[in-house]
Amino acid sequence: MTEYNNMWVITELKEDGTPANVSLELLTTALSLAAKVGEKVYSVLIGSDLDKAQEVCKNYGADGVVLVKGDVYKEYNTDVYTHAIEELVKKHHPRTMFIGATNQGRDLGPRVSSRLKTGLTADCTELDIDTENHNILWTRPAFGGNLMAQIICADHRPQIGTVRPGVFQSIRVEPKAEFDVIQETIDFPTEKIRTRVLDTIHEEAGDEVNLLEADIIVSGGRGLGDPKNFDLIEKLAHALDGTVGASRAAVDAGWITHSHQVGQSGKTVKPQVYIAVGISGAIQHLAGMQNSDYIIAINKDPEAPIFKVADIALVGDLFEIVPELTKEIEEYNARKN
């Protein structure tokens, strides 16, 4: 395994050709880990037009980029992208590969690890490194989120993990004075492509929930007692110009769609303000929101676990507190305008 060195971030691209937020979060985190062991970090870019992405990765501190360009890479395809990464690894031998735990990353990661006959730790929420042997310490939820397991891939390289969006912060830095650009030509016969995207259907605008980029999130839980009471959450979120979130219990009960779910089996969020209403604070939920800048919890149970991470703990009847809070905010907004 001595021939393996350096860290790669398999960089997912958005429709405009720039890196997805999770890829920049992983780039920042990989740079921090690499600094502990004297390794370099490269962004792997696969697509038909990579100029914008290359510049962004440079401005977020990458030591360089590994480029694979071609018309066959214009849209993500499991077979095509897996083949490209497999060929890159065989030639350059990265020690570690980080992949965002997005729909694309969760599809790509297992296929790549299988091809390379190495391990994959999926859906990680924490990362660290053993400076002696360069093993990444991958932390992920286990047993339905009731435990956090730390996993290492001690005997195989590269070590690969998918990491949840929103767990880490991306930090723009001064570009490195020396920036490596490694360009590889990897062909893939179009006749060997087994699956193709025929059409992309976007959610209706009213159904889109962008929890990952929300500055303020108001989440409701089982303490609401009835799906119609989510109206209280929606009114408070609207007054704050925020986004509606929910606990797993509320989603499982069918009170609100999964796209609103915060927690281990939903979204990991880091808003400026997170308001938890009628949420007890199971470990699965706490892991998805405890890194929020400011947490306000409203619950009638003074022993609720949510209060352990809250900056403000309001013990009382949410049906009295939330309407009054909403009213005060609406009146403040009216005076300000």
Predicted confidence (pLDDT) per residue in 253-310, tens digit: 999 998 899 987 788 888 999 999 999 998 889 888 988 999 999 999 999 999 999 9
Distance between CA atoms of residues 332 and 325, nearest Å: 11
- pLDDT tens for residues 279-295? 999 888 988 898 899 99
CA-to-CA distance for 314 and 319, rounded, in angstroms?
A: 12
Contact at 8 Å (CB) between 280 and 308? Answer: no
Q: Is the residue at 81 inside a domain?
A: yes
Look up tokens 């299988």; give the residue: 114
Regarding whether 329 and 212 lie in a shared domain, the answer is: yes
Q: Are the C-beta atoms of 281 and 224 separated by less than 8 Å?
A: no
Q: Strand 136-142: give its sheet, edge to edge.
A: 126-129, 136-142, 147-151
Q: Each residue of 72-121: pLDDT tens digit?
A: 999 999 999 999 999 999 999 999 999 999 999 999 999 999 999 999 99
pLDDT tens digits, 206-236: 456 788 889 999 999 999 999 999 999 999 9
Q: Residue 315 has what DSSP assignment? A: E
Question: Is residue 200 included in any domain, yes or no?
Answer: no
Is 1 domain-assigned?
A: no
85 within some domain? yes
Residue where one domain finishes, among candidates 166, 192, 218: 192
- Stretch (H or E) spanning 226: none
| E-assigned strand segments in 27-156 | 41-47, 64-69, 96-100, 120-124, 126-129, 136-142, 147-151
CATH number at residue 167: 3.40.50.620
* Same-domain status, 51 and 119: yes
Q: 282 and 216: one domain?
A: yes
**Same structural domain, 147 and 126:** yes
Phi, psi of 70 (to 5 degrees): 160, 155
188 in the same domain as 40: yes
Give Cα 214 distance to the centre of its chain.
Answer: 14
Q: Which of 192, 227, 252 is the last residue of a domain?
A: 192
Asked if residue 199 is part of any domain, the answer here is no
Q: Provide the number of structural domains found in the chain.
A: 2
Amino acid letter, 1: M
Q: What is the pTM of this model?
A: 0.75
Cα separation of 138 and 162, whole Å? 9
Q: What is the mean pLDDT of the chain?
A: 91
76: nearest Cα among 20, 159, 26, 6: 20
- For 136, the domain range is 7-192
Q: Which amino acid is at 121?
A: T
CB 151 within 8 A of CB 138: yes
What's the token pair of residue 98?
A: 């980080």
CATH code of residue 224: 3.40.50.1220
pLDDT tier for residue 130 given thresholds of 50, 70 and 90 = very high
Same domain flag for 144 and 169: yes
Residues 30 and 160 in one domain: yes
Q: Assess whether 32 and 151 both reside in one domain.
A: yes
Q: Let me know whether 304 and 170 are in one domain.
A: no
